[in-house]
Structure 1
Amino acid sequence: MQISKLHLKNFRSFGEEGTTITLNKLSGFVGENSAGKTALIHGLVKLFGVTPNERTLEKSDFHIPKQVKIEAIKELQLSIEARIDFPELMATNQDILSRASIPPFINQLVVHATAEAPYLRVRLTGKWTADNTPEGEIEQKLHFVTVAEGEDEAEDDLVPVTPHQRSTIQVIYVPAVREPSAQLRNASGTILWRILNNISWPDDINDSIKTKMEPVNELFDGIDGVSQIRSVIGEEWKKYHKDTRYQDAKLQFSSSTLASILKKIEVTFTPTHDQGEYSVEKLGDGLRSLFYLSLVSSLLESEIKITGKSNASLTVLAVEEPENHISPHLLGRVMENLKDISNKSNAQVILTSHSASIIKRVDPEDLIHLRIDQTNFTTIVKKVILPNKTSDAYTYIKEAVRAFPEIYFARLVILGEGDSEEIVIPKILAVNEIHPDDYGISIVPLGGRHVNHMWKLLNELNIPHITLLDLDRERGGGGWSRIKYAIKQLLLNGHNREELLKVRVGEKEVVLSDEQIEEMDEYPMTPEWIETSMNKLWIQRLMRDKYNVFFSAPLDLDFLMLETFPEAYKETVPRGPSIPDRTQHPEEYAEKIKGGIIAALKNVKATGHTYTEEQHELMVWYNTLFLGRSKPSTHIEALLKLDDDDLIIFMPEPFSKLVVRVKEILQKED
């Protein structure tokens, strides 16, 4: 049993068009602050919260459209609907079927089609009406909807939910600010109250307690001064209070009823450095947070161990920011516990997080991305879309987004080819007064293989992105093949074919066909074609704001930086490569250059004919600086030798244009 869908309409940041969220056994909500993550959890709490106070609607729960004047509103309405599925009913495993428990609202189940499992629809409706008070009048109702989704509804199709039926689904809400001491008080609705409520206490427990406690009071009465203090307190009280009720004040050293004992119950922690006991209040924020989560786990375990069954048919644990106050090395343990809870047949887990350490431990298929539409201030919800599981790209993209979960929180993502981009691009942005952390920019090395799937994911989540690819001229799969690849992937991501592929042939403008795109591999690599068709046409076109695809040309980012700042990079090694004198030893020189070209272009047949003689010599240095040692360390050392002014003045053209585009995107986002 699990909640599979949640539909919110006019609830907080969810507008009048309504939003449907698909939930798994473990679901993670990610997004920027104030994107609607907490509102989503509160929607579940309003339906199935443990206490009446949690389930009560307030005026602030009703969505107010951006353009509407508050004082002009006379009435507001909202609805929150949950669909509860019973996948265990479709199981073929007899053991699972034997454990399947159908709750008492079986008569309210609906079936959409033959051979599909029945499901349940529960809907909360609220109506706010203006009156003479600031909060107005709020009416709320909870119903079963007894027709399938998509079918017309009549008034008779709404059946009121009884308190007992509602209590079979319970949402335990663990807020971002955790106060376990409050949950240790034996007040109705607290976690401790639910745990202790599972115990079958004997009917004569109070008599037994009173009998056992009498020796304790007698012990204190025998101590000098105690009886005198009791007498003084009683006499002084009578001076002020003359009513026959409550006229005797006694100094009690022990509780005489179960209720009074449970009200004073507390958890203590030992051993401590001072050989005493620590209460919850004395623990640090991190340990308090961990103990709060352990209380929830204790509740779920105790229900099974003590009663043999759960008091609720389904318990939904909704945890806000499990990372709060907890050291990173313990987050893995926290997530393992939450996953164990979600695997229980009667439990489901929902969490929100801003921590990459948490998000990378959640399967991307279980993540839900939320953002605010700035035009109307409503929440937009998107599922994380991965490639087909049978494709090679599935595992790559799944592991890639796990490795770089910060993309979910980014205002802008810059996709690079590798480690070099992670070092150089932040420095290039910083000298232009764009600090990635301040502007929410994530720079991740996922721009090479399967880049189209990264584009699709980011487009689906509506996260702006820029891609910096290596042109790899004369390398296998580089040059024209790299441009063809980018064009084909942009088409797969839905870009307008006519705008992308329109070219001038003679006096006419034509749109390239699929066959003509495939022929790009055969385009000449002559200076004329490189300058006019490759550089001035396609590379310039792909850099437009519709596509945001930039190229490190003519080879890659490493070679581009070496060519632009040769002295700074050459000084990073104590001894550079030994290059024979061209005039005195022409054969040795030619052999050295040939080896450098083959190594740099990674092709034994490479000649480097599209490169200049100066670039040929730099390829020998390229092999020493980037193929013979760590690329990041070379860049770090070289960048330390460069002044910010030099970087700005002599910045390579692709980077200058990339910086301009970053500024344009950030300005648009603002």
Structure 2
Amino acid sequence: MQLKSITLENFRGYKEPATLLVDNAFTGITGKNDAGKSTVLEALDIFFGNSSVDREDKNIDAEGSIKITCIFDNYPQFLSLDSGSQTSLEREYLLNENNLLQVCKTFDFTTSRASEKVSLICMHPSNEGLNDLIYLKRDDLKKRITARGLNPNDVADLRSNTSIRNFLYESEHLNFSEQEILLNKEDAKDIWTSLLKHLPIYALFKSDRNSNDQDSEVQDPLKLAIKLALADIQPQLDEIQRHIKTRVENVAQRTLAKLAEMDSSLAEDLIPDFTKEPDWKTLFKLSLSSEKGIAINKRGSGVRRLILLNFFRAEAERKMSESSSNSIIYAIEEPETSQHPSNQEMLIKALIKLSEFPKTQVMVTTHVPALAGLMPLDSLRYIYKSEETHRIDHPSDDLYEYISQELGINPVKEIQSSGAKGFVFVEGVSDVVFLKHIFLKLHESAQIKRNYIEDKNVHILISGGSGNLKHWVNYKLIESLGKPWCVFFDSDNDGKNCSDYLTNIELQKKYNEQGVLFYLTKKRECENYLHPNLIKRISNGELDYVVDPYEDQKEKLQPLIAPYRSVRKTQLVEKLWSQMSSEEIIEVSNLENGENEFVNFINLLEETFNLSSI
């Protein structure tokens, strides 16, 4: 099942109903402190049964009950409600007007303890005598057949409640209205019991939690590891247990024999008894320490949180693997907490990547401009607090402008101050180094007429991606200035039509249709253009390495050159590309038709930006 939205009513700061739409993959929730971002994630934690609601969660000005409503897509096609028979939400008329599963949990505080009510909001038959069938037991359903003058023998299977309901629904023309079907009531309980097995696994990581190695997120996976290890040697443990038991019982029997010589009645009253089996797993306690013996709870808060976050992911993935059909929702509150800016950016990119896995959704809250700027535009949700209640806004140009102003995501200053004829958006620093050196060397070798970058007629901007807020802000400014722009991105082509490559192709098509030059490299990434001669020079002639056009060269090449040059895998292009000669650049970028890939790109750029007139 896939979460589509959550609606809060009378919950903490949300007095009036407020709906947050959840993206299929990644949802970025932004807003100022105390706007209500964490409230949404914690409400989901309550909805999925991981935590409980209390009286203090009720909005102080609200008169009604707390309501948390979730809408799901990709719900199970079939449900087993009766023994030996199946039905569906559609067949039972339990879907809402958009043909989605809408589940509402209501928490009432009229008594000392909160009472929980689960219901479905759906377009259900409203005909008299047919609007309550979902609650009736089998005998009552059979009576309803007779009461309506129908023949029970016409029912396909009188042993199945589903079959009887279906027969009754088909007995006359149905009228429908939006109704609330209580799942705590009578036979409708079976529906909720069945649905529970299919709900997504929800895993919440809060920003203000303690960060030590005794946290459940740390201990649970380690306890599981102990449990699995003990299971591997269970026969040996059983033998040890039998050996100890036999030896101890032998000692006890000899002791009692001696005791009987002195007090036979007391000896007869005593018997050896192992009242409790040994709990082997409690004998082991694991912690995490560095090579220098420093425990995790003695490390810095940023290190502790980073480790805990990944223990949290490991535990969540374990839960998902134990219920193979369930999807999973990672909800991470302010992942930037206690993290260095470089780690913050890396973490957001990793979470966006994680959200691309099947049956995986990621929800993140943040109020850090740099992180909000990296999130996909369509994923952004903005929460703010009005005088009476919290409110939620969803993607639109007005919202993007508002968020960029509120969070301080300002356009690159060079755009306004430069006299550039046009702008090239790239993903990162490596791409800037890559393009600048290409322009330089192709101009030196007379492959292109001018080095437009050196002449400052073309300006390179780092966007981090074509679909994030930072890019949008810069694009809007360029648009207002009437400046042409284009995109130069890695294709991510692995030679096997991977999802990243197909996504980039779709983006390219979209932008090209809008008249924007969106260029994708023919090879996988910039690193795939490194010439074998360069690798040989770096290794003093020891490495004869052929760079594959589609393999991940960062993973494969960096370990090979590490003994000769200290270069991190993310800096291969930054550190090595400037050593590429004109001839080498031309050779690695020549196409099968005899043309040159980068010369073609620059010619397209020249035409798009009208640079030939300069």
TM-score of the superposed pair, with normalisation by structure 1: 0.42
Higher RCO (Cα < 8 Å, 6 or more apart): 2
Q: Which has the larger radius of gyration?
A: 1
